Amino acid sequence: MKYFLSILLAGFVLVPLQAKAGDAPASMAQSPGAFDNSSGIYLRGDIGASYLNWGSATTPWAYVGDAGIGYQFNPNFRTDLTYDMSGNYGVNPGTLSTSMVLINGYYDFRNDSAFTPYVGVGAGYGWEYGNGGATNASGLALGAAAGVSYDMTRNLALDVGYRFHDILASGQQTPEHQIAVGLRVKF
């Protein structure tokens, strides 16, 4: 949680340091160059690395990937439904992978630059898949996120962020700290 708060604080500190729209090249300063932040449907996909904060993890690092569909309600609020997977953590004994379906809500801190910091929370259902002695479990899944998106074009944004995910299964939890990069394509 300490890392999440540090990243969130860094986002708030960096926002005032961003260039103003008037300092940007003419192609970015005009509306066709900026991400279309009016309402609409978007698709998203992310890849990255995940760290499992679990006492018996022998290989705590693994890949993470997700895909989802969302809706931008206004320039500041959006929500999406995602399917996330991370996997092949080495645990004692065996290996463990996780997947979850989350409904997420985000607040985008819009400003005069192409960079937009955001925070988000999510809830859903998750599954833990054990191999070689590790057990299977499922339960309530929770998430929190913070990051920044960069408006590459009117309908395409690059997203870099930190996510905390946890599956609250009976008898065990799988807290994951994730760093991911991805794209959002708006229609």
Give residue 39's pLDDT: 82
Give the C-alpha distances (Å, rounded to integers) separating 146 from 69, 109, 128. 18, 11, 24
- The CA radius of gyration of the chain, in Å to the nearest whole number, is 18
- Angle 4-7-10 from CA coordinates, rounded to 5°: 150
Distance between CA atoms of 84 and 102, rounded to whole angstroms? Answer: 8
Strands 95-108, 77-91: pairing kind: antiparallel
| Residue 111 burial (C-beta neighbours within 10 Å; 0-12, 13-18, 19+) | middle
Give residue 121's pLDDT: 98
Give residue 140's pLDDT: 96
Q: CATH assignment of 2-16+38-151+171-186? A: 2.40.160.20
Q: Are 86 and 97 in contact (CB under 8 A)?
A: yes
Q: Is the peptide bond before 32 cis (omega within 30 degrees of 0)?
A: no
Give residue-wise pLDDT tens across range 90-103.
988 889 999 999 99
Give residue-wise pLDDT tens across range 60-95.
999 999 999 999 999 999 999 999 999 889 988 889
